[in-house]
Structure 1
Amino acid sequence: MNIPWRNFNRNQLILLASGVIVLLLLLYALLRDSTQTVTLEQASQLIDTNKVEKAFVDNGYTYLSTKEEGVVKIASSQLSPELTAHLAIEAKSSSGWGWFFLFFIIIGGAGYWAWKSKLGFEDDLPPEAPAVKVQAEAEAPSTTINAVKSTVRFSDIGGIGDVKEELEEIIDFLRNPKRYYSFGARMPRGVLLVGPPGVGKTMIAKAVAAEADVPFFYQSGASFVQIYVGMGAKRVSELFSAAKKNAPAIIFIDEIDAVGKKRGGERNDEREGTLNQLLTEMDGFEDTSGIVVIAATNNIDVMDSALLRAGRFDRRIFVELPTASEREAILQKYLRQIPSDLSISDVAKMTVGFNGAALAALVNEAALLCLRQNEIQVRLEHFLAVKDKVMFGKKKITMLTDEQRRYQVRYQAGKVFAATWFDLPYEKISLSNDSITPPTAEPQLRHEIEAHIRVHLAGIASSHLRFGEHASNASHDLAVAKELVHAMVYEYGMGNSIQPSVDDEAKITDRLYNEINGLLERHEKIVTKFEAILDEYEQISKSLAKATMNEVL
């Protein structure tokens, strides 16, 4: 039910009430009887001297109108018939009530006009101006979700060869779903892109939609986090409903960890309600619906386990920082429209640790510098001049000097040797990252935990064998090694005795460090081989590491 007064806000109601009060006071002033009362002697004198122009009676009083005195009154009971015999006494004028009705009409008309004007104004509001809507609508804004047609292709993105291979199956499924249904297979309902900021996760999702030629529904995880309880869950429901109407389609949720964090002790009904709705929606659509959910996150460790289980995000794709060859491919894309006279491979080698976004910024800064210097081609000197600006600007990209790079190559070579020697699970190890899986299977055996500790100490030991010192970037590996040793002593009873002891932690750490140091020293040739591979390609896979180790042994 639409009550007219609810269309006015508090300030408007106050102004309207104030206006009514002012009008009522004016009516009171006009209608109240303020006529002066005279005595019988004064009235007789006015009548006898013929000063009375008009007389009328009202409510027991006789009103006498004169030029000099104005209107005066006297009680009718005081006047004798002989005194008023020659006066023409009339009935009281109704002009006061006329004023009353006039003001009543004005007030009513003004109120009706204001109400209709407000309703008409709201009806004419454009959809992009919700700020002046009524308060109820402001608290529940429209969440119309429209699909977009992606124009980004894989050919527009450089350095994503491994990722492209993982996603080609998804693209083929969206193009030819019957092929998979007839075979009894189903595609993953969800694909999670994991990687640091700036590596192109959003562009990859757009490229999948463009290659498959399907609608692309984009939402950020932060857009689901609402002030009002229930609005986040509503947005999730609307997103999936829109996608189902346009199936086959891709739903892309950027920064999904904003809404998909682990549910712990801190209570947040709105975020948990939104997460529950997302879990329900991903369970709710059928395998034949033709919808694939792609999400991106920078930190998979904080995500709720229910979101990562099979049947939701079945496939995880790690998008790492680009290697030298991948950086070269990315730079070629960015330099297509820019006149240049340089070796792209030289630029790629000097940008260790750069992500795709940083490379784009580097190329743009070099081009701007070239224009400022009124030159016609971008040269290597321009890149060298702006490198520090990109390194220490807003993005603060980690860059390695030549000496730091030598230390990093040696450090990672030691870790490659240890991880391969103890056959720990990893896909590849690069100069900027390593994806060695920590021990998680239960029960964990002592020799398995010690193997992981040796790997985390191998980089330090390898650096000391070559340079006699190690760099500060060993802090993470050292912290992980300490955590594992602490768990062995205080949680698993794997120290020198069942009772935990601080001395046990130091003795175990020193023993494992000496063991990996001796192992690296005996197999220096293998470590040197790994150094050469890392120096040239900036990464090494486990299969290549095994093959290299078998050649030397």
Structure 2
Amino acid sequence: MNITWRTFNRNQLILILSGGIILLLLLFALLRDSGDTITLAEATKLIENNQIEKAFSDDGYTYFATKENGIVKIASSQLPSELTANLLIEPKRGNGWIWFFLFFGLIGGAGFWAWKSKLGFEDDAPVAETTVTKTAVAEPEAPSSNVTAVKSTVRFSDIGGIGDVKEELEEIIDFLRNPKRYYSFGARMPRGVLLVGPPGVGKTMIAKAVAAEADVPFFYQSGASFVQIYVGMGAKRVSELFSAAKKNAPAIIFIDEIDAVGKKREGGRNDEREGTLNQLLTEMDGFEDTSGIVVIAATNNIDVMDAALLRAGRFDRRIFVELPTASEREAILNKYLRHIPNDLSIAEIAKMTVGFNGASLAALVNEAALLCMRQNEIQVKLEHFLAVKDKVMFGKKKIAMLSDEQRRYQVRYQAGKVFAATWFDLPFEKITLTNDSITPPTAEPQLRHEIEAHIRVHLAGIAASHIRFGEHASNASHDLGVAKELVHAMVYEYGMGSTIQPSVEDEAALTDRLYTEMSTLLERHEKILSKFETILDEYEHISKALAKATMNEIL
């Protein structure tokens, strides 16, 4: 008889030991001597007042079970015989050990059963040649995960602003619904679809919508869940995921943040990560075109992903999910506002939310609704959105306390930015004394004059301060940093310097030119700048509509 010893599940062993410890504590609580010691006077009072319900002796003590005080004890040597003459004092029954051995007998039986369930017996040899073979004991395993599918309830009708993406995925949905149509034509669907885009644009919701529209099981895993401290466990999780999907085919596997496990292999050894990535590559090669499995993955940064994952036959279809345009933001807002009473021009809200992703728009609508309820109003209005927009974008900030001199500098600094943003017609809703929400350039392709307009806005506060005071404050560091980043991108990435070949000198020359031009423009329109200062000093904010009206009135 060959007996093959299998690895004993560490979780079962821990469970048995934990149960034993709990039972020990329970037995200790039951069997320990819990009676409070009393004096002779107290014992006499209890006996004379007929408070004793039961009396027993054990190990030199006499125990009294009383009506009000529970169990108490007194040394038997202290009790005079005449005091207890009318009491029936029984010897204590020692049944505690019986319970003790009974509990541990149960533990031992459970342990033996769990151990036996891990043994395999094979009657391959004659009885006379009975041998025992023990395989190598495996390393301790991390808890295995039960991979289960979920039924997605998200539909494309629940997601706004994804028209282009939806068209790309219609083929995948049709394939999952009617795979024979494609097989008979000799065509195959991509094994992997990679959704690429910034956070919050709805990549996970899109994958769920594909599964719901196709009416197939949806297997969700995060790329980070494959990164394990146990050697081999990441690869095991990948194998379990694909095995479960094959059993439920047709199905969709969605791996979020796949770059966590699929980063480029650049020579630095990480056996666990590489083993997990290799298993993922093998699984994607291993399932057949007719298996009915489609792998959808999402990443915020495709540049860090390993080339082996991106080659044809794996993630060979890439869909870029960008920040929503104005019309797409309007469609998204319509979805979120359909059940909220409102008196709004949704197109106007869409225009003031340049740079918002789907998640930010959802948060914006929710914050506006909550503010409306706090103010006991019955409809959400534009004022509610304006009040919470900065909170959604930047978080709630505590307004800094400014001295009179600091306030004068801040008013002048922000007035310069108001002038530049209004003059170059950049998107902003309002600029306050402490912050602004001028959206950086996001549209592609970006034209040179558009980027330069943004750089001038970030330099305008510094220029305005120098015209009035001959210096500027340290709070210009953020604007200066953004301006430098944009200038660097123009020279080194976009070839928009004085020559195609980038250089540090070109960066400095471009920055100096834009700063000088902004200073000259502000000096010519000091009257408008001063008017903006007056408004900011009085109200501590100015809207774009008021800024444009003020500028047009003076010009």
Q: If the TM-score is normalised by the length of the shorter chain, which range does it land in?
A: 0.5 to 0.7
Contact map agreement 1:460 1:474 (CA 8 A) in 2: no
Equivalent position to 1:231, from 216, 230, 233: 233
| Residues 1:116 and 2:109 aligned together | yes
Q: Distance in 2 between matches of 1:275 and 1:364?
A: 40
Change (3 A) 1:512 1:394: closer
Q: Who is 2:273 aligned against?
A: 271
Q: Secondary structure at the match of 2:296?
A: strand
Q: Distance in 2 between matches of 1:170 and 1:110?
A: 59
Q: Distance in 2 between matches of 1:147 and 1:390?
A: 34
**Amino acid in structure 2 at the alignment position of 1:329:** A
Aligned residues: 364
Q: Distance in 2 between matches of 1:107 and 1:383?
A: 68
Q: Distance in 2 between matches of 1:385 and 1:511?
A: 40
Contact map agreement 1:485 1:505 (CA 8 A) in 2: no
Q: Where do residues 307-456 of structure 1 align in structure 2 (5 Å cutoff)?
A: 307-393=309-395, 404=421, 407=424, 432-434=441-443
Q: Who is 1:175 aligned against?
A: 177
Q: Distance in 2 between matches of 1:199 and 1:122?
A: 51
Cα distance, 1:389 vs. partner? 1.4
Cα distance, 1:177 vs. partner? 1.5
**Amino acid in structure 1 at the alignment position of 2:488:** A
Q: CA RMSD in A?
A: 4.6
Cα distance, 1:142 vs. partner? 2.8
Q: Secondary structure at the match of 2:294?
A: strand
Equivalent position to 2:264, from 253, 262, 265: 262
Q: Distance in 2 between matches of 1:143 and 1:364?
A: 35
Q: Where do residues 21-420 of structure 1 align in structure 2 (5 Å cutoff)?
A: 112-116=105-109, 139-393=141-395, 404=421, 407=424
Change (3 A) 1:206 1:116: same
Q: Distance in 2 between matches of 1:167 and 1:316?
A: 11
Q: Distance in 2 between matches of 1:239 and 1:162?
A: 30
Larger Rg: 1
Q: Distance in 2 between matches of 1:460 and 1:194?
A: 25
Contact map agreement 1:485 1:509 (CA 8 A) in 2: no
Contact map agreement 1:221 1:257 (CA 8 A) in 2: yes
TM-score of the aligned structures, taking structure 1 as reference length? 0.56
Q: Who is 1:479 aligned against?
A: 488
Q: Who is 1:62 aligned against?
A: none
Deviations 1:184-207 (A, max 9, x none): 211111111111111100000011
Deviations 1:456-514 (A, max 9, x none): 8665557789999797655445434555699xxxxxxx98xxxxxxxx9467879999x
TM-score of the aligned structures, taking structure 2 as reference length? 0.56
Change (3 A) 1:115 1:320: same
**Amino acid in structure 1 at the alignment position of 2:381:** R
Q: Secondary structure at the match of 1:182?
A: helix
Contact map agreement 2:372 2:379 (CA 8 A) in 1: yes
Cα distance, 1:244 vs. partner? 1.0
Q: Distance in 2 between matches of 1:505 and 1:108?
A: 85
Q: Distance in 2 between matches of 1:157 and 1:239?
A: 27
Contact map agreement 1:457 1:477 (CA 8 A) in 2: no
Contact map agreement 1:456 1:481 (CA 8 A) in 2: no
Q: Secondary structure at the match of 1:386?
A: helix
Deviations 1:68-124 (A, max 9, x none): xxxxxxxxxxxxxxxxxxxxxxxxxxxxxxxxxxxx99998775344235668999x
Q: Distance in 2 between matches of 1:172 and 1:313?
A: 19
Change (3 A) 1:346 1:106: closer
Identity value in percent: 70
Q: Distance in 2 between matches of 1:409 and 1:178?
A: 53
Cα distance, 1:165 vs. partner? 1.0
Q: Distance in 2 between matches of 1:464 and 1:140?
A: 53
Q: Secondary structure at the match of 1:280?
A: helix
Q: Who is 1:73 aligned against?
A: none
Contact map agreement 2:459 2:483 (CA 8 A) in 1: no
Cα distance, 1:266 vs. partner? 2.5
Unpaired segments ≥5 residues, structure 2: 28-96, 117-137, 398-416, 428-438, 462-478, 512-555
Change (3 A) 1:221 1:112: same
Q: Distance in 2 between matches of 1:112 and 1:325?
A: 72
Unpaired segments ≥5 residues, structure 1: 20-103, 124-135, 411-429, 437-454, 487-493, 496-503, 514-553
Q: Secondary structure at the match of 2:154?
A: coil
**Amino acid in structure 2 at the alignment position of 1:316:** R
Cα distance, 1:180 vs. partner? 1.6
User: Runs (4+) of structure 1 moved beyond 4 Å?
Assistant: 1-13, 104-111, 117-123, 400-410, 455-477, 480-486, 506-513
Q: Secondary structure at the match of 1:193?
A: strand
Change (3 A) 1:150 1:404: farther
Cα distance, 1:160 vs. partner? 0.6
Change (3 A) 1:192 1:382: same
